[in-house]
Structure 1
Amino acid sequence: MGLRAQVRTRDGWAVQHAVVTMTDMTGAQVLRAGADPDGVVAADVPLVPGPYTVIVTALGYAPAASTALVTASGRAEVGTVVLARAGGVELPPPGVWTLDPAHSTIGAVAQHLGISSVHGRFTDFGGRIEITPDLTGSRVEAVIAAASVDTGNGLRDKHLKSPDFLDVEAHPEITYRSHALTPAGPDRWTVRGRLSLHGVVRDVDLDLTYLGTGPDPWGGVRAAFRATAELRREDFAMNYNQVVQAGISAIGTTLRVELDIQAVQGGLPGA
């Protein structure tokens, strides 16, 4: 007899601090119980057969209400209750998440000759994401080795590493540190931070999409994100250009940054 329920996020993770309240049709409370570390609510309280209202609440999540029918045995099986983040926005469970460079890509796209695009990426980087219970307090930081730029062309990469562009000897690291996080949709966020590039520090916003969380083959838990930003080269003192016929610049004035990120809960395996 009593109540049985499981409380989960939409990704299937337990909501450990959930509270289930049960009221009868007059609105009188007949049961109140908290979830265990597995998100399971079990209360052995005698209940009179009939319909009841079940309300599930948890800090940081929108409450969920449903109707449950108590059978002649005095038992109500509520099943799995899925809670959505308050405001309809989602991020992974709170804690520190470490970027996995082996399964992540930091890339940039520049226009070439006004008719096509050149794609590049950085192969040496690291970082961490800290998700806080109050999601707006979450933080992102990343460090990229500027000399790891790779566009698939050795001569072009050598030029990009020169003082005309990244000047990797004088500025070996590109860093990004966030200072604010604001929701922009059900799975979307605006990350506001400071980018240090080519010796210049500027405010840069990332348009972030959270793709979900799940277990990996190595016994860990991973979260996936996609993010984009647009940079103006002149904002970072990279003014080199070559004008070809008809006044067309060889290299576009803007860069589109594209990030595909996997982050591992805690640290990387073997780290």
Structure 2
Amino acid sequence: AAGYAPVASTAFVTASGRAEAGTVVLARQGGVQLPPPGVWTLDPAHSSVAAVAQHLGLSSVHGRFLEFGGRVEIAEDLGKSRVEAVIGAASIDTGNGMRDGHLKSPDFLDVERYPEITYSSTGLTPAGPDRWTVHGELSLHGVARPVDLDLSYLGTGPDPWGGVRAAFRATAQLRREDFAMNYNQVVQAGISAIGATLRVELDVQAVQGERLPQAG
């Protein structure tokens, strides 16, 4: 299993053709200790939800959402853990007011009709030491589609406010047309003003428990 050290087990098969192999326990291969099971609450003050799009086929435009929240439920059986997140679509910030206004318009996010972007996980698959693929459904611009997150776990530790925090980084690649955002402006043959794909980058701190402590 990816991310775990291999284990060998010997069993003797009798004439009946059946054998009892017992319980085989796999130890994690390298990496840091996993966070304790339970509910963890996303801390927006120490997290970021960012998106990167190509512009004119030359450079990238970086944006981020300023309003979001969510929770992680870590199960005893890690594969049954869950993630739920909600993002305020109108909180998009690219550092340019005119561009932000266009992104909020019906050409893109259409925030008046679809004020929230949501993500709900459906499963978790190991992908290496401290790495997993999170399977889930993203609802964006009124369209719900399956989206996988490439997740890296960065560790767990105490914070100065008496809480315990876990840190994660996740990325995903989205196609605008999959979410009915088909606006395009061709500036010259074969080159569009805005790229067809969007890279999502999440840097997340989650605090153990249902509530966030008073933090700075």
> Normalised by the size of structure 2, how large is the TM-score?
0.85
CA 1:159/1:85 → structure 2, altered by over 3 Å: closer, same or farther? Answer: same
Q: Aligned partners of 1:216 and 1:147: how far apart in 2?
A: 31
- Residue aligned with 2:189, SS: helix
1:115 maps to 2:92: no
Report the identity percentage: 81
Q: Does 1:172 align with 2:122?
A: no
Q: Aligned AA for 1:165?
A: F
Counterpart check, 1:140 vs 2:78: no
The structure number with the bigger radius of gyration is: 1
Report the CA distance shift for 1:164/1:60 in structure 2 as closer, same or farther (over 3 A): farther
Asked if the contact 1:150–1:157 (Cα under 8 Å) also holds between the matched residues in 2, the reply is yes
For residues 25 and 97 of structure 2, what CA distance do their matches in structure 1 show?
50
Offset of residue 87 of structure 1: 10
2:47 paired residue among 99, 104, 120 = 104
In structure 2, what is the equivalent of residue 269 of structure 1? 213
Residue 212 of structure 2 aligns to a residue in which SS?
coil
SS, match of residue 244 in structure 1: strand
TM-superposed CA distance for 1:247, in Å, is: 2.9
Contact 2:161 2:214 in 1 (8 A): no
Within the candidate set 84, 91, 94, 2:34 is matched to 91
Look up the equivalent residue of 1:269 and give its one-letter code: P
Displacement of 1:195 after TM fit?
Answer: 0.2
SS at match of 1:152: coil
- Higher relative contact order (Cα pairs below 8 Å, separated by 6+ residues): 2
Runs of 4+ in 1 over 6 A off after TM superposition: 86-89
Q: Which has the higher strand share?
A: 1
SS in 2 for 1:189: strand
| 1:225 and 2:177 correspond | no
Call closer, same or farther: CA 1:209–1:191 in 2, change over 3 Å.
same
2:179 paired with 1:236:
yes
Residue deviations 1:9-66 (CA, integer Å, cap 9, x gap):
xxxxxxxxxxxxxxxxxxxxxxxxxxxxxxxxxxxxxxxxxxxxxxxxxx9974xxxx
Superposed CA RMSD in Å reads 2.0
Tell me the residue number matched to 1:66.
Answer: none
Q: Distance in 2 between matches of 1:93 and 1:103?
A: 20
Structure 2 unaligned spans of 5+: 1-22
